[in-house]
A and B are shown apart, each in its own frame.
Chain A
């Protein structure tokens, strides 16, 4: 009837035993080769754009065929881990910055020599180096900005958000824009680890101490930052019971014209492009400092790949070719990780949102996710769980942070 509990865990091992012998065919390098690539970056709307890049690569390299598998982001991590354990991983696969260190340390990434390193934005390239060696190539970057519905601002007679805004400006506007009777909310910011480390940086706090094995967020700055994050719920933002926190809830609310301000990434540009009201973006307000979240995806070559040269060739094409730059800019996909500012200039003239300059301005002050050697996912889950406890009012912010501090320290070895 049901898979037994034992089988759930054990099946991985059997798969490993059974499949490790037949992971890839060993064609010799001179003849035509087929490389496999598993990705999440093209899921949900950019599959054809990825195919455009693949087609261009195959045209330039008739000996290499690329087989693409696309998985939804939510299942990607589980699928990748299972494939790595079973020895059935593709020649190339996507990783995120936050997980890079862990995969690199576990030796699943092959060294990835770059023919033309100058093509890349240096900070992004260096993010995927360990001890001076390149183990993955950045495939894109994106930032989180403040979206706003300008029609709602006009109706309330308020000025639009600017890069000079701080939390208190946002708070004041959100309160005026919230209209419970009309079902209109002033603001939405997810209550999660990914928002917390950022608002912490916006308030001058640190997530980890210098040792990297102890947290440092249980501080006055941290408490104020957590209060800012969880305090919106039920006042200017819907509660969990009202749907907050379910997938796509926030973007749908914004698209329905029922949300005045929305904190989310530039990857939603396409999803909100056709709304029947005016909208734009601004750099996210900070408190004492400006700090925007920057996310970067990368592609790595499996250390078990039978065709590392062919895979490395495609990896570089996928992350720095002109075809890639053009495809990404034309479609409004996440930004190409390239150093050529002139090529990026066309991005600014693509239309909605008008203030695309804010995307680049947000790079002036960035907050990168804290990365630990062990227990990354557990740390993120605990942080989100404790913040949600505070959001639901079952704990005070102080209690939640104290509990998060104790639990995370136990996990990351502090």
Chain B
């Protein structure tokens, strides 16, 4: 965002030089005006620039440096060059934790998008009490992950949890959920989709409400049914909101941590260990801040690559009307 604003500011500055000042004006005044303009822009940027530099760019640069060292947080860091990266790239565990993370995203994204879409479509109608319902669906979004994770752990308790008790009522033997390596990740996906449903719903609802009702009316007059209107009118016009949801969810998905930490701690037996949990463990449990920083940068590169591909690919399907 900073970069975009910076460009915009530079553009205006250029315009000023080429079009604005008459030739007769002394250069000194012109320059001082430009300096004043730049300072004004900077003043407006400062409130967001300071925290970004201090808490995002600063730590990123620091992490890049730490990633080239061996540092246990206690003794001075020791320079090791690219050894941490080499170790990570040859360690089969690295591939494993990235695979677990991708597994999470592949399970989570369709669930949260389709669920959010269904609720947004439902709440976009003249339903009674829809304002209340919108609030209810948004409630989990603003609830602490620790609370949500503990409640879900309890709901999904393999022996006496609500979910398996209900399943047993219908004669189905419920799975071992978080206690079973095969079901630990699905448990986390389920809880995450439930919690984030409201966020996706709000974004998509805003998108739905910006769609001109006349377009839908026209389609109806032309004889298009509900599904036809959904696929040919609503979804194409909703694509900018969909794009936003997918980009944000993917970035957050790669950084999944809180729910894993609180629900399974990466277990059982490492079955739900994800990248950020590994970064946490390496730094704060095992005193390997260098390796953790290297892993952070690998994760950053992966997220960057995925996001760039998405932004390139959006031209093919995102319709800004």
Q: Which A positions have Cβ atoms within 8 angstroms of B?
A: 1-2, 4-14, 17, 77-78, 81-82, 84-85, 102-103, 106-108, 239-243, 375, 377-378, 381, 385, 388-389, 392, 394
Alpha-carbon separation in the docked complex, A14 to B267 (Å): 31
Pairwise interchain contact A8-B280, C-beta atoms closer than 8 A = yes
> Which of A12, A103, A375, A392 makes the CB contact (< 8 A) with B179?
A392
Q: Quick check: which of B2-10, B18-26, B66-74 contacts chain A, the rest being far away? A: B66-74
Instruction: Across the interface, name the chain B residue whose C-beta is closest to A78.
Output: B284
Pairwise interchain contact A8-B297, C-beta atoms closer than 8 A = no
- Residues in A with CB closer than 8 Å to B287 are 81, 377
- Residues in A with CB closer than 8 Å to B157 are 241, 243
Alpha-carbon separation in the docked complex, A9 to B60 (Å): 9
Pairwise interchain contact A10-B179, C-beta atoms closer than 8 A = no
Which of A4, A239, A240, A378 gathers most chain B CB within 10 Å? A4
Alpha-carbon separation in the docked complex, A98 to B140 (Å): 41
Pairwise interchain contact A11-B55, C-beta atoms closer than 8 A = yes
Does chain A have a CB within 8 A of B158? yes
- Residues in B with CB closer than 8 Å to A378 are 285-286
> Which of B176, B248, B284, B292 makes the CB contact (< 8 A) with A81?
B284
How many Å from the CB of A106 to the closest CB on chain B? 4
Q: Quick check: which of B32-40, B42-50, B235-243, B268-276 contacts chain A, the rest being far away? A: B268-276
Grouping DSSP codes into helix (H, G, I), strand (E, B) and loop, the A interface class, with mixed when no group exceeds half, is helix
Pairwise interchain contact A385-B269, C-beta atoms closer than 8 A = yes
Residues 119-153 of chain B, each 1 if its beta carbon lies under 8 Å from chain A, else 0? 00000000000000000000000000000000000
Pairwise interchain contact B275-A11, C-beta atoms closer than 8 A = no
Pairwise interchain contact B283-A8, C-beta atoms closer than 8 A = yes
Alpha-carbon separation in the docked complex, A117 to B34 (Å): 74
Grouping DSSP codes into helix (H, G, I), strand (E, B) and loop, the B interface class, with mixed when no group exceeds half, is helix
How many Å from the CB of A54 to the closest CB on chain B? 27
Alpha-carbon separation in the docked complex, A36 to B267 (Å): 37
Alpha-carbon separation in the docked complex, A41 to B25 (Å): 75
> Which of A4, A10, A243 makes the CB contact (< 8 A) with B58?
A10
- Residues in B with CB closer than 8 Å to A385 are 267, 269-270
How many Å from the CB of B73 to the closest CB on chain A? 4
- Residues in B with CB closer than 8 Å to A13 are 59, 62-63, 65-66
Alpha-carbon separation in the docked complex, A11 to B59 (Å): 5
- Residues in A with CB closer than 8 Å to B275 are 5
Pairwise interchain contact A392-B268, C-beta atoms closer than 8 A = yes
How many Å from the CB of A206 to the closest CB on chain B? 24
Pairwise interchain contact A7-B60, C-beta atoms closer than 8 A = yes
Alpha-carbon separation in the docked complex, A8 to B277 (Å): 11
Does chain A have a CB within 8 A of B75? yes
Can you name 14 A-B residue pairings with CB atoms under 8 Å?
A1-B248, A5-B296, A6-B297, A8-B280, A9-B59, A9-B289, A12-B289, A14-B58, A82-B284, A241-B157, A375-B286, A377-B287, A378-B286, A388-B268
Does chain A have a CB within 8 A of B319? no
Alpha-carbon separation in the docked complex, A85 to B283 (Å): 11
Instruction: Across the interface, name the chain A residue whose C-beta is closest to B161.
Output: A241
- Residues in B with CB closer than 8 Å to A243 are 157
Per CB-CB distance, the 6 closest pairs between chain A and chain B, nearest first, are A10-B59, A10-B63, A13-B62, A106-B74, A85-B73, A241-B158
- Residues in A with CB closer than 8 Å to B284 are 77-78, 81-82
Instruction: Across the interface, name the chain B residue whose C-beta is closest to A380.
Output: B285
- Residues in A with CB closer than 8 Å to B166 are none
How many Å from the CB of A307 to the closest CB on chain B? 21
Alpha-carbon separation in the docked complex, A13 to B55 (Å): 11
Pairwise interchain contact B286-A1, C-beta atoms closer than 8 A = no
- Residues in B with CB closer than 8 Å to A108 are 74
Does chain A have a CB within 8 A of B103? no
How many Å from the CB of B223 to the closest CB on chain A? 43
Instruction: Across the interface, name the chain B residue whose C-beta is closest to A391.
Output: B268
Pairwise interchain contact B279-A5, C-beta atoms closer than 8 A = yes
- Residues in B with CB closer than 8 Å to A375 are 286
> Which of A11, A84, A388 makes the CB contact (< 8 A) with B269?
A388
**Chain B interface extent, by class:** 35 or more
- Residues in A with CB closer than 8 Å to B66 are 9-10, 13
- Residues in B with CB closer than 8 Å to A6 are 56, 59-60, 63, 293, 296-297, 299-300
Pairwise interchain contact A8-B276, C-beta atoms closer than 8 A = yes
Contacts A8-B296, A14-B58, A377-B286 supplied; 19 other A-B pairs, CB < 8 Å: A1-B252, A5-B299, A6-B56, A6-B60, A6-B296, A9-B279, A9-B283, A9-B289, A14-B54, A81-B287, A102-B74, A106-B75, A241-B179, A378-B285, A385-B270, A388-B268, A392-B179, A394-B181, A394-B269
- Residues in A with CB closer than 8 Å to B255 are 2, 4-5
Pairwise interchain contact B56-A7, C-beta atoms closer than 8 A = yes
Does chain A have a CB within 8 A of B159? yes
Pairwise interchain contact B293-A10, C-beta atoms closer than 8 A = yes
How many Å from the CB of A68 to the closest CB on chain B? 23
How many Å from the CB of A363 to the closest CB on chain B? 31
- Residues in A with CB closer than 8 Å to B60 are 6-7, 10
Instruction: Across the interface, name the chain A residue whose C-beta is closest to B269.
Output: A389
B285-311 contacts to A, CB under 8 A, are 285-287, 289, 292-293, 296-297, 299-300
Alpha-carbon separation in the docked complex, A239 to B160 (Å): 12
How many Å from the CB of A11 to the closest CB on chain B? 5
How many Å from the CB of A209 to the closest CB on chain B? 22
How many Å from the CB of B63 to the closest CB on chain A? 4
Alpha-carbon separation in the docked complex, A381 to B159 (Å): 26
How many Å from the CB of A187 to the closest CB on chain B? 19
- Residues in B with CB closer than 8 Å to A84 are 73-74
- Residues in A with CB closer than 8 Å to B176 are 241
Pairwise interchain contact B58-A5, C-beta atoms closer than 8 A = no
Instruction: Across the interface, name the chain A residue whose C-beta is closest to B159.
Output: A241
Alpha-carbon separation in the docked complex, A381 to B252 (Å): 28
- Residues in B with CB closer than 8 Å to A9 are 59, 63, 66, 279, 283, 289, 292-293, 296
Pairwise interchain contact A7-B300, C-beta atoms closer than 8 A = no
Residues 195-235 of chain B, each 1 if its beta carbon lies under 8 Å from chain A, else 0? 00000000000000000000000000000000000000000
- A14 touching B179 in the complex, CB below 8 Å, given contacts A8-B276, A389-B268: no
Alpha-carbon separation in the docked complex, A10 to B300 (Å): 13
Pairwise interchain contact A12-B73, C-beta atoms closer than 8 A = yes
Instruction: Across the interface, name the chain A residue whose C-beta is closest to B267.
Output: A385
Pairwise interchain contact A10-B268, C-beta atoms closer than 8 A = no
How many Å from the CB of B173 to the closest CB on chain A? 13
> Which of B56, B61, B74 makes the CB contact (< 8 A) with A85?
B74
> Which of A8, A106, A377 makes the CB contact (< 8 A) with B279?
A8
Alpha-carbon separation in the docked complex, A7 to B292 (Å): 11
Which of A6, A106, A243, A394 gathers most chain B CB within 10 Å? A6
